[in-house]
Chain A
Amino acid sequence: MTALVEASCVTRTFGSQVAVDASSLDVGAGELVGLIGANGAGKTTLIRMLLGLLVPTDGSVALFGEPPSRRTRSRLGYVPQGLGLYRDLTVDQNVAFVARAFGRPPQRTVLPADLAASRGALVGSIGLGHQRQLAFACALAHEPELLVLDEPTSGVSPLARARLWDQIHEQADKGVGVLVTTHYLQEAQQCDRLVVMAEGREVASGTIEAVIGGRQAVSVSSASWSSLYDALRSAGLAVTLDGTSVRVVGATLEQVDRALQRAGLSGALERVPASLEETVLLIGRDAQPTATR
C-alpha cells in the first residue's frame, strides 16, 4: 500500500528548540490514524509539516508521492481545531467561499438536513455542533483523498460526536485516509492505529493494544476512597480516582500494598490493564526523565 502522506525522519527546530525530532508517520488509503500526546509534544508542528505549511529542518515529507504544494492541497481536506470558518458570514456564504477556493460548484457541498435548515444564519450564531458539521462538510466538498482533523469533536454532545465519527468512518470506508489528533482518548479508540508523541519524538505506535503493550495499573477499593486516596498520594504514587475506587499507575501491587500498610489501611487490590490515558501518562514520563511540567 502506498502512503497518501509519509513523513520520513522529519526534524523541525525553532532556534535552539527542537519541536519535532526525527519522527516518522504515514497514513495509507482507507486508514484511520490517531496522533496523540501531551501539549508541546510536537503534534501540531508535525501536522503543519505534513500539510506543507512548515518546511522540515531535516528529513522529508511526501504528500501523494510528491513534496507538499498547492496542487497537493487540492487533494487534501483539513479541519483545524479553530474550524477555519468565517463567523460573520452565513452558512451558505461559507460554503460558497470554500467551494470557490477549490474551484468547485457550491451545490456539490452536502449539508446534513438539520444544518441545511440554518443556511441563511450567521455561523457565529449557530451552535458549536452545527459549526463542526459545517467545517466538516466544507472540508469534504472537494472529495479529498486525505483528511486531517484537529480535535474534530471538541465540545459537542455525545450524539453529535457519534454522528461526526459516523461520517469519518464513512470516508475511511470509501478509501480516504484520515489523520486525527485528539486529547479525548476514548475517541482515539475509534482509530485503526495510533501514533504517540512525547518531547518531539514518536514514542509508540500501533493498535491500542500494542500501544498499551501489557502495561498495568493497580485498582484499589475499600469503603472509603478518600482515606485510600490520601494515603497513596502521600506516598508519592500516581493515583487517579475511578468512581468510588482508586487506581495507581507506575507502581507494583506490592508497592501499593506497602503504602497502604504504612498508613494502617487495607483495601481490595487488583492488577488491571492500564487505560490508554494511563499509558500515555507513563510513556510521557519515560520520555521525560526530569518531570517538570
Chain B
Amino acid sequence: MRFAARSVTVELADGVALQDIDLDVHPGSITAVVGGDGAGKTTLLHCFAGEIRPTRGTVTVPEKSLLGYMPSTSGTWRDLTVDENLDLIARVFRVDRASASERRTRTLDRAGLLDARDRLAGDLSGGMRKKLGFCLAILHDPELLVLDEASTGVDVVSRLELWQLIADAAARGAAVLMATTYLDEAERAEQVLVLDDGVALALGAPHAIIAEHAARIVETDRPRDARLAWRRGRTFHEWRPDGNVGRAHLADVDLEDAVIAAILCRARSHGDDGGT
C-alpha cells in the first residue's frame, strides 16, 4: 500500500496553508517534510493523519487502526505513568494482551525507557517524553507512521536514539512521514519535501535536491549581492541565479544551503528581494 497526497490544497480561516501538494509516502521508507514555522508541515501531517480534510485534492491513507500519529506535543498523558500511557493506547487500539506485552517490552527497551515504566510521563525529561510519545504511536504496529517534530528541542543523544527507533519502524516496513526543522536530520531520510509558505519548493532524495542547486552556490569572502548570500562560519555562501560562478569556488553544499537557494529562487520569481 502506498500512501499519497494528490493536488492537496488546504484553506484555513487565516489563509492558504497548503497549495497543490503532491506526495507519495512509501512503505519501508522515511519521508521528511522540512520548513520553518508556518511553512505548512503540520497541516500536511494533519491531512495524512486524517485530522483535517483538504479543501481540494485527495489523500490516500490507511484506516485509523493502521495509522500511528505523534503530535508535536508528543501526545503523552502527563498524569499517567509510562506503563499506564501504554495500557491506555493498547486498549484504544485493542492490541491483544500477549503480543502487546512482548512488543511493549521490546519497544521500551529500544527507547531506553524500561527503567522508567513506573514514572509519571510529566516527570520525564523532554527527550524521554518524546521517546514515550513515539512508543505510543507505534504500539499497534501501524502501516503509516506520522511524526510531527519528534526531535524538536531534543538533545543530540536523545535525537539519535529517536532516529534509531524511527529507522527500526521503517526497517520493519512502516511508511514514515516526519516533519522536522533540522536539515541535517532530514538528510538522513530517503525522500525530502521542502515546504515554504504552503508551497512545495523541492521534492526528492536529499542528494538530488542538493545536486539541483550545487552548481550555482559559491563560497566567497566578498559576495556580489548580499541579498543572495549567507554566512557559513567565517565565509559566505552565495547563490548565483545566472549560474555564472566565474572563478569563485563552488561551495561544499549541504541541504541547508540548497533549501536557502530554493527559497531565494522562489522569492525572486515573485519579485521579492529575499531579504528579511
- A residues at B contact (CB < 8 Å): 36-41, 112-114, 127-129, 133, 151, 154-163, 165-166, 168-169, 183-186, 189-192, 225-227, 229-230, 233, 238-244, 277, 280-281, 284, 292-293
Q: Quick one: which of B32-47 are within 8 Å of A by CB?
A: 34-39
Q: A185-B184, A240-B188 are in contact. Are A114 and B276 (CB under 8 A)?
A: yes
List 28 A-B pairs, Cβ < 8 Å.
A112-B276, A113-B275, A129-B36, A133-B276, A155-B36, A155-B37, A155-B152, A157-B36, A157-B39, A157-B263, A158-B260, A159-B264, A159-B276, A160-B276, A162-B230, A166-B230, A184-B182, A189-B232, A190-B231, A225-B171, A229-B168, A233-B168, A239-B164, A243-B189, A243-B205, A281-B157, A292-B115, A293-B157
Alpha-carbon separation in the docked complex, A280 to B157 (Å): 8
| Chain B contacts for A238, CB-based, 8 A | 160
**B residues lining the A interface (CB < 8 Å):** 28, 30, 34-39, 112, 115, 125-127, 152-161, 163-164, 166-168, 170-171, 181-184, 187-190, 196, 205-207, 230-234, 254, 256, 259-260, 263-264, 274-276
Question: Which B residue sits closest to A225, measured CB to CB?
Answer: B171
Contacts beyond the supplied A128-B36, A133-B276: 5 A-B pairs with Cβ under 8 Å: A41-B155, A159-B274, A243-B187, A243-B206, A280-B156
| A281 CB contacts on chain B under 8 angstroms | 156-157, 160
Q: Are B36 and A158 in touch, CB under 8 angstroms?
A: yes
CA distance A277 to B159 in the complex (A): 10
In the bound complex, do residue B158 and residue A157 qualify as a contact, i.e. CB atoms below 8 Å apart? no
Assembly CA distance A192 to B155 (angstroms): 21
B184, A39: Cβ atoms under 8 Å? no
B contact residues around A127 at 8 Å (CB): 37-38
Q: Name the residue of chain B whose CB is nearest to the CB of A189.
A: B233
> Whole-angstrom distance between the alpha carbons of A114 and B227 in the complex?
14
Q: How far is the CA of A127 from the CA of B112 in the complex (A)?
A: 35
B156 touches A244 (CB 8 A): no
Measured in the bound complex, the distance between the Cα atoms of B190 and A129 in whole Å is: 28
Min CB distance A175 to B, Å, is 15
C-alpha gap A189/B232 in the complex (Å):
8
Please tell me if the beta carbons of A183 and B154 are within 8 angstroms of each other in the complex.
yes
Tell me the complex Cα distance, A211–B163, Å.
23
CB distance from A154 to the nearest CB of B (A): 7
Closest chain-A Cβ to B233's Cβ sits at a distance in Å of 6
The distance from the CB of B218 to the nearest CB of chain A, in whole angstroms, is 15
Question: A153 — nearest CB in chain B belongs to which residue?
Answer: B181
Interchain CB contact under 8 A, A183 and B156: yes
